[in-house]
Structure 1
Amino acid sequence: MSPSSSGAATGRTVLVTGGAGFIGCALAERLAAAADRWVVVDDLHPQVHASRARPDALTEAAELVVADVTDPHTWDTVLDDVRPDVVVHLAAETGTAQSLSESSRHALVNVVGTTQLLDGLTRVAHLPQHVVLTSSRAVYGEGTWQRADGTTYQPAGRTHAQLAAAQWDFPGARHLASSVLSTTPNPGNVYGATKLAQEHVLAAWTGSHDVDLSVLRLQNVYGAGQSLTNPYTGIVTLFSRLARKGTSIPLYEDGEITRDFVHIDDVADALAAAIADPPADGRRALDIGSGERTTIRDLATVIASFHSAPAPHVTGEFRDGDVRHAACDVSPALRELGWAPRVSLAEGIGRLQEWMADRLDPVEG
């Protein structure tokens, strides 16, 4: 099976919530033309879609319904016309820091938006065959750490007092890559908590109705097509804009925060593979990333070098709710989906710089 095969959605009606966003457009480009219908429900929120217009990146093969997933009327209208075989649930508020100050907004969209979709399906007495959810690395919180004696534990999130005292790490321990097979979810911010709630709600509903469920926990997704106006997502894009201006990139904490940066093409391929091949036993959760951890210092250095910008500098600033390290074990996804990440960080950053150069004035960054 080829995960990027356009035949993955052939002969089926696919409903994609939040499908006019970064990931949705990339997925539609691969699969929409091969589906019987590819219907996108998206409210074109101005934080992501500055002009509130249909994105140029959304293929013409996709039908766009501009509507709010939290409004029951949306689902009465959409599901009166559409009976999806597959539901791809991408719609979500995604700002980690923003979720601490706008908790109700995140809970409304991420949790109530999910339940309104399910209630809408119930009202029309329709069950899809398969629901695919994009979840997040944020459900793990700080994840699992290993002490020098080999024992492991999952620490609570770092407190504001710890961060203010520049206590970045957990002494005497090292972070282990998160895995759906061994890491217990323990979100450290409101965003992560709402994503875990999505997983639980969908697991309960699909399990009760014998509907297949695939949950893909995504690491830090980046690449061409990412919003250039949303200040709450996309550290790779943010760093790139600063470097384009010739500005030294500021690094939070001590610059040694690590993340797993996975290219949008690899994420779209993973989703396509999941859609094409539902779980054999009705339910699965998989980690989707590059399988490699990168410090933000190394990321910033690569981006700065691309633009001959000054070297990055450490500020000591921090964000409440941020985890110290994030990385994942992708081996279950490799086995389950016949998928593997293909785009290296250096290649992906280069592609992103070229894409941004075509869309931004040099003065804008």
Structure 2
Amino acid sequence: MKHVLVTGGAGFIGSSIACKLLETGYEVTAIDNMDDYYSFKQKEDNVRRIQEYEGCTFIRQDIREKGKTRKIIEEAGINTVIHEAAQAGVRASNNKPLKTLEDNCLGTLQLLEETKDTSIEKIVYASSSSVYGRIEYLPFDEEHPKNPISPYGASKVIAESLIDLHTQNTGIEQAILRYFTVYGPRIRPDLAIRIFTEKALKDEEIVIFGDGSKTRDFTYIDDAVDATIKALEKGVGRYNIGGGSRISIKELAEKIIKATSSRSTIKYTEPVEGDVEHTLSDTRKARRELGWAPRTGIDEGLGKTIEWVKNKR
């Protein structure tokens, strides 16, 4: 049986991956530093959810702490790593660029050092569509130049390069997943879909940065999890993981207002530095090599997400 280490295991994507791995028979050790980037209670809820399964161990730990991850790997006989731990968010990275680089670059480097000369055979890394940044063409394929326009995007480019070097030096296999805006139940509270939904449910004004014309390719959480596990099992190299279609932020807000029968209005304000104009994934490589394809469209996914937010109130 494969024993998987999931970093960022208390987070939105990390905990969802851990649950699915446990459901399908993997043994999982999840680690997370439980920082205060968003609600500690939500992270606690995520941890409780994964601990309901047999075969799960959760450890509160920062991946930057020297020697601790190596000890976990050696004592548990862990074979593979899914590295989801990160300081997320373009806007957060604008406000705290040093923290973003420390967490996403130095944290990744320390984790890689901890895996040397251990039982680790493969690392799956959670990267981001933010590595593409400035658009040269759409949809983005994996060969699109990396032109990050935020500290967050730059941190992911650096981390990818560190993983490449690690593979060259150690022979440890890697798969790098460039997620496109993941959403769904247990969504982080700083993401637009969650913010818009909470405002709509209270009939409050929804604020959009810019004129609402920017477009995003949204990926439902179950599709992102499915892709991650497929990459763990047979992926090598880089893969775009996205829904494969895009909608404008204005249209997104209007869909949420309609779905919640809300009286909310939309207010437009100054755009945020580092926000890319458009994202759209070319997922042909993932379809071809992983046998993966997104299955949940934006309307169905929004419905499930809105229902979760309602029940959480």
The total of aligned residue pairs comes to 309
More displaced stretch, 31-40 vs 331-340? 31-40
Paired letter, 2:131: V
SS in 1 for 2:270: coil
Amino acid corresponding to residue 26 of structure 1 in structure 2? S
1:270 CA drift (Å): 0.5
Provide the secondary structure at the position in 1 that maps to 2:307. helix
Instruction: Please name the residue that 1:21 is paired with.
Output: 11
Contact between 1:246 and 1:307, CA under 8 Å: does it hold in 2?
no
**Matched residue, 1:160:** none
- RMSD of Structure 2 on Structure 1 (CA): 1.7
Cα distance per residue 1:173-221 (max 9 Å; x no partner): xxx211103x111110101111111100011101222221100100000
On the 8 A contact 1:248/1:313 being kept in 2, the answer is: yes
Alignment of 1:218 onto 2:179: yes
Report what 1:167 is aligned to.
none
1:331 Cα offset (Å): 1.3
* Cα drift, residue 254 of structure 1: 1.3
1:13–1:35 contact (8 Å) kept in structure 2: no
The within-5 A match list for 1:15-54 is: 15-35=5-25, 37-51=27-41, 53=44
Conserved 8 A contact 1:301-1:311:
no
Q: Where does structure 1 differ by over 3 angstroms across 4 or more consecutive aligned residues?
A: 33-36, 51-54
Paired residues for 1:211-290 under 5 Å: 211-228=172-189, 231=190, 234-279=191-236, 284-290=237-243
Residue equivalent to 1:6? none
- CA deviation digits over 1:139-195, x for unaligned, max 9? 0012214xxxxxxxxxxxxxxxxxxxxxxxxxxxxxx211103x1111101011111
> Structure 1: which 5+ runs fail to align?
1-10, 146-175, 361-365
Looking at structure 2, the residues matched to 328 and 302 of structure 1 have their Cα atoms a distance apart, in angstroms, of 21
- TM-score by structure 1 length? 0.81
Task: Give the % identical residues.
Answer: 30
Gaps of 5+ in 2: none
TM-score (norm 2): 0.93
Cα offset for 1:314? 4.4
For 2:262 and 2:205, the matched residues in 1 are separated by 6
What SS does the corresponding residue of 1:358 show, helix, strand or coil? helix
- State the AA in 2 paired with 1:86: T
**1:27 aligned partner, one-letter code:** I
- Contact 2:6/2:18 (8 A) holds in 1: no
2:94 is equivalent to residue 106 of structure 1: no
Partner deviation per Cα, 1:40-62 (whole Å, 9 max, x = no partner): 11111222342363633324332
Q: 1:198: which partner in 2?
A: 159
Q: 1:180 aligns with which of 109, 120, 142?
A: 142
Q: Supply the distance in 2 between the matched residues of 1:348 and 1:15 (Cα, whole angstroms).
A: 28
Query: Radius of gyration: which is bigger?
Result: 1
Does the aligned pair in 2 maintain the 1:221–1:267 contact within 8 Å? yes
Deviation, 1:67, is 0.5
> What one-letter code is carried by the residue in structure 1 that aligns with 2:203?
G
Q: CA deviation at 1:29?
A: 1.7
- Contact 2:73–2:119 (8 Å) recurs in 1: no
1:312 CA drift (Å): 4.3
Inter-partner Cα distance in structure 1 for 2:26 and 2:94: 41
Q: Residue 309 of structure 1: SS of its match in structure 2?
A: coil
Whether contact under 8 Å (1:144, 1:177) holds in the other structure is no
